[in-house]
Amino acid sequence: RSAGVVGAAFCRGQSRSGVEEGPDRIRAAGLLDRLQQRGCAVKDYGNLVFDDVVEPSGGGGLRSVAAVGGANRRLSEAMKAVKEDGHTAVMLGGDHSLAIGSIHGHAAAVGQLSVVWVDAHADINTPLTTYTGNFHGQPMSFLLHELQSKVPVLPNFSWVKPCVSAKDLVYIGLRDVDPAEHYILKMLGVKVFSISEVDRLGIARVMEETCDYLTARGKKPVHLSYDVDAIDPSVTPATGTPVVGGLTYREGVYITEHLCGTGLLSAVDLVEVNPLLAKTDQDVQSTVNTAVDLLLGCFGRLREG
């Protein structure tokens, strides 16, 4: 197993500064050392730093359109290179708009893939349905073949090619879904395990059903896009859009242990860690340490030893 780590110090998919510090805080918590200690080869590709692209005014109520498009284009190229070097890619965010570039670059390298999206939110608003104009709530709309007739061409976004089929997407942890997103999920028949399903089925059954569903039509590389706000805010408070009633630490780690066990995990995003948004340093540490533990689960760490 080898990991290729890319930091993406980007915050302009949303409004709260600090999430650009995520990559360095996760590194400082010892991610690379802990991976190496487990016998995992690690190549650190460093951080993509997005010196603020001058943003033309306007954008029709969408926040930082050109900056988001430009940042994701660079991330896509970086992720493609990491995959072509043969690593399991690790993208450290940064806000969740970065999934546009991460998944796009992964697909450019491997072709068809499955996406497991672990999040309190569906992040599938289009530029026309978004309430907030924030691109961290929209990434999936740019990636799904089935939504392209609903997504306008935006400045710096013309490079994006849709690369995910709705039937190759599974959500886990949803508990704050906008009406338009819910309509889109129903219309496309996207597989969703909301927090209610996690309660009803238990996380082990959710993961079995997720993997059976994604491999029923043939095994494909898996892209795991993990928003730390999927986990309960009592565990990961340092994040921009916390929502009560989240996954426990144990459920969160079980997800990564199980996906690692399939042998199909090809790339993982770990996004939305914002160290400025916690009240105490303990809260920051709890968030960052959980992020590290989630990633270690992706690379074979088992709690049994």
Ligand X SMILES: N[C@](CCCC[B-](O)(O)O)(CCN1CCC(O)CC1)C(=O)O
- CA separation for the pair 196, 17 (Å, rounded): 32
- The four Cα atoms 228, 230, 234, 235 give a dihedral, to 10 degrees, of -40
Decide which of ligand X, Mn ion, none touches 137; Cβ closer than 5 to 8 Å per partner kind: ligand X
Which residues in the 156-215 window bind ligand X by CB under 6 A?
176, 178
The strand order across the sheet containing 2-9 reads 41-49, 2-9, 88-92, 265-271, 222-227, 114-118, 169-172, 191-193
Residue 22 token pair: 């995520």
Closest to ligand X by CB, 121 or 223: 121
User: How many amino acids of this chain bind Mn ion (CB under 5 A)?
Assistant: 10
Q: How far is CA 272 from the centre of its chain?
A: 8
Amino acid type, 269? D
Q: Please indicate whether residue 119 is annotated as part of the active site.
A: yes
Taking CB under 5 A as the rule, does residue 223 contact Mn ion?
A: no
Residue 63 token pair: 């926040």
Which residues in the 230-249 window bind ligand X by CB under 6 A?
240-241
Least CB distance to ligand X at residue 121 (A): 3
Q: Please indicate whether residue 96 is annotated as part of the active site.
A: yes
User: What's the DSSP call for residue 45?
Assistant: E
Least CB distance to Mn ion at residue 287 (A): 11
Q: How many CB atoms lie within 10 A of CB 154?
A: 18
Closest to ligand X by CB, 114 or 130: 130
Q: Please indicate whether residue 77 is annotated as part of the active site.
A: no
Taking CB under 5 A as the rule, does residue 96 contact Mn ion?
A: yes
**Stretch touching ligand X by CB under 6 A, among 54-62, 119-127, 209-217, 296-304:** 119-127
Which residues in the 239-258 window bind Mn ion by CB under 5 A?
240-241
Residues shown for the chain? 305
Q: How many CB atoms lie within 10 A of CB 43?
A: 14
Amino acid type, 59? G
Contact set with ligand X (CB under 6 A): 96, 119, 121, 123, 125, 130-132, 134, 136-137, 176, 178, 227, 229, 240-241, 272
Contact set with Mn ion (CB under 5 A): 96, 119-121, 123, 227, 229, 240-241, 272
